[in-house]
Structure 1
Amino acid sequence: MKIAPGPRRATARATLTIGLILLAMQFLAIVFAPWIAPYSPVDANPINALQEPSLKHLFGTDVSGMDIFSRVVFATRINLLISVTAVAIAFAIGVPIGLAIGYYKGWISSLAMRIFDFVQSFPVFVLGMVLVSVMGQEIWNVAIVLAVLFTPVFARLIRAEVLSLRDRPFIAAARCSGATDQTIMFKHILPNALTPAIVQISISIGMAILLTAGLSFVGAGVRMPTPEWGLMVSNGAQHMILGIWWVALFPGLAIVFSVLTFALLGDAAKQIFDPQNRSIS
């Protein structure tokens, strides 16, 4: 007899639904940005500088006269492109590394862990600033830097799961049946070790969005006139003391909106994959 889903399961479904709706809204902004945005995101018009929100400019204009609403919409492409690409690269590199160093014990595994310790010993934001400064302030360079920062996270998660699985009875049975190390690793261990890494994807994307915006805010990310939320907040922050609030407010809200989306998805995934919340038959 199957137990009816409890309050935690219902909460997870509601959280997942809200997260997916917010994600769909951002996806629509990415795909249909040229049709949603009424103006070009990079065309400056000093005559229209610092206009308040109105029917003509929904979010107002910035100091260069660029339409903030159009820039916020197009910035969704930039911020999510950087964040999703960075996390995808980190996942693709970190998972195999974590699988290998968790299954094969030895000096290579120890060396890899010490390298991860070294990378993670630096403050993430400071290390990101240094790497971007060295590599150059380009979109793909920012994505690569974030991938370097997140790779140890995925590698450690997978390694911890592999260490807990490699000596289980079903793995011993696979060895006795003549299965090779590659078969054991990719067929028996990896599918059972992926859950924490999958949950971490949404969390890492949210963190990547914040780091991307933070790097641009301090001048170490993408450069003008590229529409990017953190860069827009930086350009508008200096005017807030003069009562010009809209230049920084709307891109700031976009950051909150996007990070909240992936936080909800990550929380829902964590609850759904939690064995305690699964239905028992």
Structure 2
Amino acid sequence: MTPAETPHTDLSATSDLGRFLVRRPAALIGLTLLVLQILAIIFAPVLSTHDPMQANALRSLQPPSWENWLGTDVSGMDIYSRIIYATRINLLISVTAVGAAFIVGVPIGLLVGYYRGWASNLTMRVFDFVQSFPVFVMGMALVSVMGQEIWNVAIALGVLFTPVFARLIRAETLSLRERSFIAAAKCSGATDIKILFRHILPNALSPAIVQISISIGMAILLTAGLSFIGAGVRMPTPEWGLMVSTGSQQMILGIWWVSFFPGLAIILSVLSFALIADAARDFIDPRRAR
């Protein structure tokens, strides 16, 4: 490809993506929700109206008003500001965990799929052991052992998601290693490293790329769930699941806003990544018409 052709190719890819989004409103909604979350992460100090960890006993459980747009919780902390800052915490944990699982799981899946032997079998049995536990229970156990810190929650979730990416890449590698172009590469004298990372990996990544968005949504739910039961992030750190837990005891008294708005934030965040994952699958799949 000559340098003169590169801008044209980039423009064509951009216009192709634009047409794809126009034809799929759900993908556009998911992308819009993701952009809003990114803006909340970057501009949290500007968008918030109060200190998210400043308690005020005199304004405990105040309903939504001009001063506190989404009301206050039992400690008098502003719910709107805490939701904005919680976006940082929830997405930091989720993206870090899934990113680490992707970085670790993809090479492992590539190796155990290409090489056969006792090491590959042992690796898959370890993954079977990890995945044999209910995800939520395993997450609780790991966080309990390591401690209720933000990075410990991320590490625990990373451990849980690593087998997912490893299995996806392994399945693709097992299929690709028998293809004729791999045999041709071997005949031409290509080393195993070159075959793995130049020929197999680029062709095996599509399912894992789609899985990233799905896993981030699942990680957000797990993070919120662990915090809800007291096994995740601790007070007074702003976190959606923890905020829902704090307000759940007042729901029976008609004080709905303490849990409702953080719960809505969880729903919209998970929905955005689900819609993006669905759109990414359609866009990457070469069998689907653009």
Report the secondary structure of 1:194's partner residue: helix
RMSD: 1.4
TM-score normalised to structure 1 length: 0.95
Asked if structure 2 preserves the Cα contact closer than 8 Å seen for 1:236 and 1:247, the reply is: yes
1:110 aligns with 2:113: no
Runs of 4+ displaced beyond 6 Å: none
Q: Percent identity?
A: 71
Q: Which amino acid aligns with 2:279?
A: A
1:223 aligns with 2:234: yes
Q: Deviations over 1:147-192 (max 9, x none)?
A: 0000000000000000000010000000000000000000000000
1:23 aligns with 2:61: no
TM-score normalised to structure 2 length: 0.92
How many aligned positions are there?
273
Please give the alpha-carbon distance, in whole angstroms, between the structure 2 residues aligned to 1:77 and 1:11: 29
1:164 aligns with 2:179: no
Report the secondary structure of 1:153's partner residue: helix
Aligned counterparts, 1:132-151, within 5 A: 132-151=143-162
Counterpart among 194, 199, 204 of residue 188 in structure 1: 199
Return the offset for 1:13. Answer: 3.8
Asked if structure 2 preserves the Cα contact closer than 8 Å seen for 1:12 and 1:272, the reply is: no
Please give the alpha-carbon distance, in whole angstroms, between the structure 2 residues aligned to 1:76 and 1:133: 23
Please give the alpha-carbon distance, in whole angstroms, between the structure 1 residues aligned to 2:87 and 2:184: 49
Q: Which amino acid aligns with 1:98?
A: G
Q: Deviations over 1:68-103 (max 9, x none)?
A: 000000000000000000000000000000000000
1:55 aligns with 2:70: no
Asked if structure 2 preserves the Cα contact closer than 8 Å seen for 1:203 and 1:262, the reply is: yes
Please give the alpha-carbon distance, in whole angstroms, between the structure 1 residues aligned to 2:140 and 2:219: 13
Report the secondary structure of 2:287's partner residue: helix
Counterpart among 253, 256, 277 of residue 266 in structure 1: 277
Please give the alpha-carbon distance, in whole angstroms, between the structure 1 residues aligned to 2:254 and 2:25: 39
Return the offset for 1:278. Answer: 3.8
1:69 aligns with 2:80: yes
Aligned to 1:127: 138
Q: Structure 2 unaligned runs (5+)?
A: 1-15
Return the offset for 1:230. Answer: 0.1
Aligned to 2:217: 206
Aligned to 1:252: 263
Higher relative contact order (Cα pairs below 8 Å, separated by 6+ residues): 1
Please give the alpha-carbon distance, in whole angstroms, between the structure 2 residues aligned to 1:143 and 1:14: 32
Please give the alpha-carbon distance, in whole angstroms, between the structure 2 residues aligned to 1:272 and 1:131: 36
Return the offset for 1:203. Answer: 0.1
Q: Structure 1 unaligned runs (5+)?
A: none
Return the offset for 1:275. Answer: 2.6
Aligned to 1:233: 244
Return the offset for 1:10. Answer: 6.7
